[in-house]
Structure 1
Amino acid sequence: MEAKPNRLIREKSPYLLQHAHNPVDWYPWGEEALNRARDEDKPVFLSVGYSTCHWCHVMAHESFVDPEIAAILNRWFISIKVDREERPDIDQFYMAATQAMTGSGGWPMSVFLFPDGKPFYAGTYFPPKSMYGRPGFADLLTAIHEAWSSRRSDLANVAARLTRELSRKGEGEQRGKVAAAVQDTLFNGLRNDFDPEFGGFGSAPKFPRSVEFSFLLNYWQTTGEPSARDMVLHTLRRMYRGGVYDHIGGGFHRYATDRVWRVPHFEKMLYDQALLVNSYLDACLISGDRLFAEAAADTCRYVLRDLTDAGGGFYSAEDADSEDPSNPGVSREGAYYLWTEKEIFSLLPEKDARIFNFCYGVAAGGNAPEDPHGEFRGKNILYRSRDDGEAADRFNLSTAEISRVLQTSCRLLFDARSGRKKPHLDDKILVCWNGLMIGALARAGIILGQPQWIEAAEKSAGFIRTRLYAEENGTLFRRCRLEERGLAGQLGDYAFLAAGLLNLHQVTQNRIWLQWAAELTESQIRLFHDEGKGGFYDGVEDRTLPFRIKGDYDGAEPAANSVAAMNLLTLGELLGRDDWRRLGEGNNRGVRRHD
């Protein structure tokens, strides 16, 4: 029997709504929850995640639906749920705290706070009982309660020290332009981490690092160092051949759990698609290799087919988990994307099936090189194990015939897969990620000769202007879902949208997009600029947070401060605004450093 809905039932976030029937007495972030914690003298348990996060689902199913764990939370804590995609300012602040305390981070993020918002203990996923080298969540809650009751002064000291350190890093320090020596250091670090066999940086898990790709290509252009270019091209080729790419429907999964890019974490994020479209377009222009053009084009087609609202906005993500076609009602990671050898033979002509299986690594017993949780047993993750030339030699056919067979086979498998229950769609429309996609589509449309993609970019921009922009004061709302808009725009919303509009203006030469980018930049300066120390704060003023952060970290998305600086330089040149050009040149000043 489903539990009575809690406060989250009134929210719009798909992630919060996933928890609206938990027995946990959840609050959304806000003064109501913090005031209750203060009035009842209880610590706050803050859980941060997002709707397409696999391990968020795991912790929810293991702990947040468990009546005993819920009873502990409801008795001793005030529990708050936050969608990191709606409130990146909250996520960034407490992620910095989590990383400072544990040396790592991730989602779900689990943080314990004083009622004033200062953190004193943090972690990520906790199993219900001790396993995977992690403490059990129920035991942890008991230990936190005992410490709160008997050693609160110790917790207060931890919170005070941590907050001082975070504040110091958040204040920023005087910096000038990035020196060539710093760029050399960054390049050498990436070169040392590079995997020359399979591409990417470091060992498993491997993430698509679009910002690093951009840095390396810029480094190659300014220094002539060929290895900087070659690392990017090799990595992009290996990614496109790997299981991290959806060979049937297009688009890229979040990351690979293995060194060879074969086993993905199956969620698909809008920002990854936008950033990787740009990476593959760069590679296409540099190398002339049509493989890169195909990757960019297929990714654009995926977004326009599966992540596009009727009004023109772009949805946020598709889940990693989906219903297992062979076991209806049971959700497994990647189930929508997996195949058995038997299925392939049942859907394709026998010879075509043999060619397809040869080229895509399909095996009778499954092909996952690692499967720690038993999700892929007997199933196949499609990846290009052999190229068309190898298949032509094996089956005594021309490469053109092999290509035709594979294209036809992929279409047939796409039609069959479309009959499966699709992964959960996070259908909120975020301004920041739409800005990234607007820029990517505009650029792809002009480079690949697809004017309809430019039209789609303009339609998305028009959607945001109509639905998420307040003309009277030049401010953005961050999110739209189910006809309802909400949440104040963050720095990333202004910066990423302005960057997308500048791309759109460059492609269309329509000054309306340039003018709007300038309006957004005016508002961005008014709302986020630190007049004293320089740089831009990531979020608007919020008295529920201890202080505001100015981020400089390029992670899955580029740092909003960096994008804001580039926008200022571009607008300064286009509009003859020397003040903006100077502001862009000096924006590194005052952005926090990671020691």
Structure 2
Amino acid sequence: MNLLHLETSPYLLQHAGNPIHWKAWNQDSLAQARTENKLIIVSVGYSACHWCHVMEHESFEDNEVAEVMNSHFISIKVDREERPDVDATYMKAVQLMTGQGGWPMNVILLPDGRPVWGGTYFRKNAWMEALNQLQELFATEPAKMEDYAEKLLEGIQHIGLVTPTTQGEIPHPANIKPLVEKWAKSFDWDYGGYARAPKFMLPNNYLFLQRYGFQTKTQELLDFTDLTLKRMAWGGLFDTVGGGFSRYSVDMEWHVPHFEKMLYDNGQLMSLYADAYKRDKNPLYKEVIEKTHFFIETELTDENGAFYSALDADSLNTVGHLEEGAFYAWEKQELKDLLGADFDLFSEIFNINEFGFWEDGKFVLIQGQALEAIATEAGISAEALQQKKWDWEKQLYAVRELRAKPRLDDKILTSWNAIMLKGYADAYKALGDEQYLAAARRNAAFIIDTLWHPDGHLWRTYKNGTAKINGFLEDYAHTADAFIALYQATLEEKWLTYAKQLTDYCLEHFYDPEKQFFTFASADGEQLVAPHYETEDNVIPASNSVLANVLYKLSLLFDNGYYEKVALQMLYLVTPNMDYASAYSNWLNLWLDLSTDNKELAVCGEEASTAIKEINSHYLPHVLIAGATADSTLPFLQNRFVNNSLMFYVCQNRACNAPTTNINTTLNDLKL
């Protein structure tokens, strides 16, 4: 029978009515396969995945398919967001076998869990044919399958591994330059991003490129970052009506997105636009932050301060069928009726024309030029046109709210919550808006009170009042990173203490001294057929790169040589493999920390919180900021507090200048 009704994951519950005898990934399901000597089908997806829904409708709701799967296989459904370890391990197998990956991912395993065959989306007949052939082979020539499984497992164990070597000198950060020059050859100078489709946002890439351009005074990189951020904000990728970014665009223009909205994208993008606003003070960046906050607050925030995971790409259309993008697209006549005499001007901004056309008579709003140029052409002021644009968006929002909304994935994931928490902390630092700090504080309190077990481990996921599944490395790394950001926003030292506690837990439970990296799953947790070491940055930075950055920051603040040694040894092992810099942008960020430009700042005094708010509003990516409003035992701040004084200490390479009491002098000293 289908057991998914016992689960809490919205994705698994979507499949609870299938005729397939689905089970969740657990020890009972795996033991049954071994006992009955049956092949295992592992089908992996997530709730906002459009093609997962398509395969469900075509195959998993079909009785003919169910008969094949139920007769010969143990069928296991996995929510990749709940079990990223299972997803990553078997995705390696699919990539080795097919040269590509994606979701839905469907893999056939031997009863002991070793993979023997797999792929992504399959049509019904191809799926049934493959299953019948695999079952026949397993029944008649099991030795052949065993042999293939052993070779495939060997390949999985070597993917992504950096071979440990003796310790050595990390190359000078000047060696980053040729990597960036090679990287720049893939830039799209028309629309930003990379010259390919589909087009993913990869926020961490631009956090680094912006910082590198700033520190090396390479204006071309800053221009490219601004072009990318502007075009993403103008494109259909960004929901200008209701706020929030979709996961990626299917074209080169950031126009038509794959319409699912993911928490992890929006958290990272809030950080990126916050940094860009600090550097450039572009009002568009502020607007993006404000609209993203509106989306998160309205659609993805639980009453307890936690954040939900995603909105689906699909929603019910006017005839009651699930359709991708139905909630977001507009028909021309609908807009004419709504906007009346303003339609022509609206159409100029949002391209209700061939450029903005999507399909089936529908348009996805995309801005193609600056409002100032359109205002000049229309003979009105840019300010008046901006106000009109906001008014139109409110009109469209009110009408759109009457439509059937996309389905919500309301599970709460620790790492994604931490990413959004950091986004709010960064937005507060950039704009000083207290509502962003309040959102960050509430979320941090939820993580501590609900997702952090008294024995020291984090839970992975929470829903319906229950936290479950032991956390993975990404949960610890991103939470520690977010707590450091919250400390720097508030100077409340408890957040730094929490970050250190989580880091120490990782060193004890995840660090592999032989490989000199951290395993994705805890050493005392469930072990899959092969350990996973996440080292390449993707749409979310690799957990090892995030933790390496955390370790390096904490090494300076706590004067901890071991933290520094572990972080820099990982960097040393990774640097020879940085052929394609886009997959290592967060490691490059750590490498850039070793530049002679980098400084540390301590702000100490009863009024330090006020001063830090001003300092945080400046773009200082090369400065590690700390401070205290009272005497502190933090090694970096020890003996720096003076009663009734506000002291600024600018330090570099573990040596500090004479303190000053003037914030403007300090800001000048921090300039490159």
Q: TM-score, normalised by structure 2?
A: 0.82
Cα 1:544–1:78, aligned 2, differ >3 Å: closer, same or farther?
farther
Q: Is residue 139 of structure 1 aligned with residue 135 of structure 2?
A: no
User: 1:203 maps to what in 2?
Assistant: 196
Q: Is residue 96 of structure 1 aligned with residue 92 of structure 2?
A: yes
One of 99, 106, 110 as aligned partner of 2:106: 110
Aligned equivalents of 2:432, 2:273: Cα separation in 1 = 15
SS of the residue corresponding to residue 570 of structure 2 reads coil
Cα 1:278–1:28, aligned 2, differ >3 Å: closer, same or farther?
same
Offset of residue 564 of structure 1: 0.5
SS of the residue corresponding to residue 537 of structure 2 reads coil
One of 326, 346, 368 as aligned partner of 2:357: 368
One of 118, 141, 145 as aligned partner of 1:155: 145
Q: Is residue 76 of structure 1 aligned with residue 72 of structure 2?
A: yes
One of 416, 420, 427 as aligned partner of 1:444: 427
Matches for 1:539-578 after TM superposition, within 5 Å: 539-541=521-523, 542-543=525-526, 545-578=528-561
Q: Does the Cα contact within 8 Å between 2:156 and 2:530 map onto a contact in 1?
A: no
Offset of residue 544 of structure 1: 5.2
Q: Percent identity?
A: 38
Aligned equivalents of 1:571, 1:456: Cα separation in 2 = 25
SS of the residue corresponding to residue 116 of structure 2 reads strand
Q: Does the Cα contact within 8 Å between 1:206 and 1:261 map onto a contact in 2?
A: yes
Aligned equivalents of 2:574, 2:157: Cα separation in 1 = 12
Cα 1:590–1:80, aligned 2, differ >3 Å: closer, same or farther?
farther
Aligned equivalents of 2:499, 2:431: Cα separation in 1 = 25
User: 1:299 maps to what in 2?
Assistant: 292
Offset of residue 182 of structure 1: 6.1
Aligned equivalents of 1:543, 1:153: Cα separation in 2 = 28
Aligned equivalents of 1:345, 1:169: Cα separation in 2 = 55
One of 304, 322, 326 as aligned partner of 1:335: 326
One of 500, 512, 516 as aligned partner of 2:494: 512
Q: What amino acid is aligned across from residue 260 of structure 2 in structure 1?
A: E
User: 2:669 maps to what in 1?
Assistant: none
Aligned equivalents of 1:178, 1:268: Cα separation in 2 = 39
Aligned equivalents of 1:221, 1:356: Cα separation in 2 = 36
Q: What amino acid is aligned across from residue 145 of structure 1 in structure 2?
A: Q
SS of the residue corresponding to residue 225 of structure 2 reads helix
User: 1:218 maps to what in 2?
Assistant: 211
Aligned equivalents of 1:594, 1:225: Cα separation in 2 = 21
One of 107, 119, 124 as aligned partner of 1:123: 119
Structure of greater Rg: 2
Q: Does the Cα contact within 8 Å between 1:266 and 1:334 map onto a contact in 2?
A: yes
Cα 1:591–1:61, aligned 2, differ >3 Å: closer, same or farther?
farther
Offset of residue 393 of structure 1: 3.8
Q: Is residue 321 of structure 1 aligned with residue 314 of structure 2?
A: yes
Aligned equivalents of 1:394, 1:62: Cα separation in 2 = 51
Aligned equivalents of 1:579, 1:232: Cα separation in 2 = 35
Q: Is residue 395 of structure 1 aligned with residue 378 of structure 2?
A: yes
Offset of residue 286 of structure 1: 2.6
Cα 1:284–1:169, aligned 2, differ >3 Å: closer, same or farther?
same
Cα 1:334–1:182, aligned 2, differ >3 Å: closer, same or farther?
farther
Q: Does the Cα contact within 8 Å between 1:533 and 1:589 map onto a contact in 2?
A: no
Q: TM-score, normalised by structure 1?
A: 0.92
Deviation string, structure 1 residues 16-51 (Cα, Å, up to 9, x no partner): 111111111111112222222222222111101101
Q: What amino acid is aligned across from residue 476 of structure 2 in structure 1?
A: Y
One of 53, 78, 85 as aligned partner of 1:57: 53
One of 261, 264, 274 as aligned partner of 1:268: 261
SS of the residue corresponding to residue 304 of structure 2 reads coil
Aligned equivalents of 2:481, 2:495: Cα separation in 1 = 10
Aligned equivalents of 1:151, 1:468: Cα separation in 2 = 47
Aligned equivalents of 1:414, 1:555: Cα separation in 2 = 33
User: 1:133 maps to what in 2?
Assistant: none
Aligned equivalents of 1:591, 1:86: Cα separation in 2 = 28
Q: What amino acid is aligned across from residue 223 of structure 1 in structure 2?
A: T
Aligned equivalents of 2:450, 2:171: Cα separation in 1 = 38
Aligned equivalents of 2:430, 2:233: Cα separation in 1 = 19
Cα 1:12–1:392, aligned 2, differ >3 Å: closer, same or farther?
same
Offset of residue 183 of structure 1: 3.0
Cα 1:417–1:529, aligned 2, differ >3 Å: closer, same or farther?
same
Q: Does the Cα contact within 8 Å between 2:92 and 2:159 map onto a contact in 1?
A: no
Q: Does the Cα contact within 8 Å between 2:263 and 2:310 map onto a contact in 1?
A: yes
Q: What amino acid is aligned across from residue 84 of structure 1 in structure 2?
A: R
Q: Does the Cα contact within 8 Å between 1:551 and 1:591 map onto a contact in 2?
A: no
Cα 1:454–1:184, aligned 2, differ >3 Å: closer, same or farther?
same
Q: What amino acid is aligned across from residue 551 of structure 1 in structure 2?
A: E
Aligned equivalents of 2:142, 2:208: Cα separation in 1 = 46
Q: Does the Cα contact within 8 Å between 1:116 and 1:544 map onto a contact in 2?
A: no
Q: Is residue 253 of structure 1 aligned with residue 246 of structure 2?
A: yes
Aligned equivalents of 1:148, 1:230: Cα separation in 2 = 58
Q: Is residue 186 of structure 1 aligned with residue 196 of structure 2?
A: no
Q: What amino acid is aligned across from residue 91 of structure 1 in structure 2?
A: D
Q: Does the Cα contact within 8 Å between 1:323 and 1:421 map onto a contact in 2?
A: yes
Offset of residue 361 of structure 1: 1.3
Cα 1:526–1:589, aligned 2, differ >3 Å: closer, same or farther?
farther
Aligned equivalents of 1:194, 1:16: Cα separation in 2 = 39
Q: Is residue 310 of structure 1 aligned with residue 303 of structure 2?
A: yes
Offset of residue 366 of structure 1: 9.6
Q: Does the Cα contact within 8 Å between 1:320 and 1:423 map onto a contact in 2?
A: yes
SS of the residue corresponding to residue 374 of structure 2 reads helix
Deviation string, structure 1 residues 73-116 (Cα, Å, up to 9, x no partner): 11121111111101111111111111111111101111111111
SS of the residue corresponding to residue 336 of structure 1 reads coil
Offset of residue 178 of structure 1: 6.2
Deviation string, structure 1 residues 517-567 (Cα, Å, up to 9, x no partner): 111111111110112221100112455511211110111100010110111
Q: What amino acid is aligned across from residue 37 of structure 1 in structure 2?
A: A
Offset of residue 591 of structure 1: 6.8
Q: What amino acid is aligned across from residue 113 of structure 1 in structure 2?
A: L
User: 1:15 maps to what in 2?
Assistant: 11
User: 2:389 maps to what in 1?
Assistant: 406
Aligned equivalents of 2:560, 2:420: Cα separation in 1 = 27
Aligned equivalents of 2:109, 2:173: Cα separation in 1 = 42
Q: Does the Cα contact within 8 Å between 1:535 and 1:591 map onto a contact in 2?
A: no
Aligned equivalents of 1:417, 1:182: Cα separation in 2 = 51
Cα 1:46–1:55, aligned 2, differ >3 Å: closer, same or farther?
same
Aligned equivalents of 2:172, 2:470: Cα separation in 1 = 36
One of 27, 33, 36 as aligned partner of 1:40: 36
SS of the residue corresponding to residue 403 of structure 1 reads helix
Deviation string, structure 1 residues 478-497 (Cα, Å, up to 9, x no partner): 11111111010110000001
User: 1:234 maps to what in 2?
Assistant: 227
Q: What amino acid is aligned across from residue 357 of structure 1 in structure 2?
A: S
Deviation string, structure 1 residues 351-372 (Cα, Å, up to 9, x no partner): 2222212211124x99435xxx
SS of the residue corresponding to residue 69 of structure 2 reads helix
Q: Does the Cα contact within 8 Å between 1:366 and 1:378 map onto a contact in 2?
A: no
Matches for 1:337-356 after TM superposition, within 5 Å: 337-348=328-339, 350-356=340-346
Cα 1:226–1:156, aligned 2, differ >3 Å: closer, same or farther?
farther
SS of the residue corresponding to residue 75 of structure 2 reads strand
Q: Does the Cα contact within 8 Å between 1:430 and 1:479 map onto a contact in 2?
A: yes
Q: Which stretch shifts more, 390-399 or 242-251?
A: 390-399
Aligned equivalents of 2:460, 2:574: Cα separation in 1 = 23
Cα 1:429–1:108, aligned 2, differ >3 Å: closer, same or farther?
same
Aligned equivalents of 1:274, 1:470: Cα separation in 2 = 24
RMSD (Å), alpha carbons: 2.0
Q: Which stretch shifts more, 259-268 or 350-359?
A: 350-359
Aligned equivalents of 2:544, 2:82: Cα separation in 1 = 19
